Amino acid sequence: MEATFDQGNNNLGRNMVLVLGVVIALIMFIAPKIGNISHATKHHTADDVHSCLEQNGAWKTIQDSTDPDKYINICLFPDKKVGFQVFAKVGDAYEEITSYIADNFKSLDKLMNWISRRGYTEVDPTTLEVIDP
């Protein structure tokens, strides 16, 4: 009696190994991204910028070069991140448009260069009163 080998089962085994490998690769690729989303949601929020501004005040307040009714409060975090609160004049008041944290400025020089390149001008923040969002 001669032993026979079922090619159908062999292909099924190879396909299962291939599918398992793809699933593992996807998990390894996606899992770190999910962790980053959680970190961003938890640590990089408008509330953090508001707290920074309440505790430390604005490091600088700048006026948008393209829209004279738009301003940005800049707050510096201890971990070298920079908080931005963008607000604009609406009627007789100033209302927040958005607040966010940027971690791409590695030094104050780079931040100052960015401000200069954009054509922003520094203004006296005491002349502006932002309405809470």
Residue 90 and residue 34 in one domain: no
- Predicted TM-score (pTM) above 0.75: no
Between 31-40, 43-52, 84-93, 97-106, the lowest mean confidence (pLDDT) is in: 31-40
Residue 64 and residue 12 in one domain: no
Give me the DSSP letters along 20-52: HHHHHHHHHHHHHHHHHHHHHHHHSSHHHHHHH
Residue 28 and residue 5 in one domain: yes
Residue 26 and residue 53 in one domain: no
Residue 72 and residue 55 in one domain: yes
Residue 120 and residue 109 in one domain: yes
- Reported as a single tens digit per residue, the pLDDT across 44-97 is 578 999 999 999 899 999 998 888 899 999 999 888 889 999 989 888 888 898
- Reported as a single tens digit per residue, the pLDDT across 7-24 is 555 676 777 767 666 666
Give me the domain span that covers residue 104.
Answer: 46-131
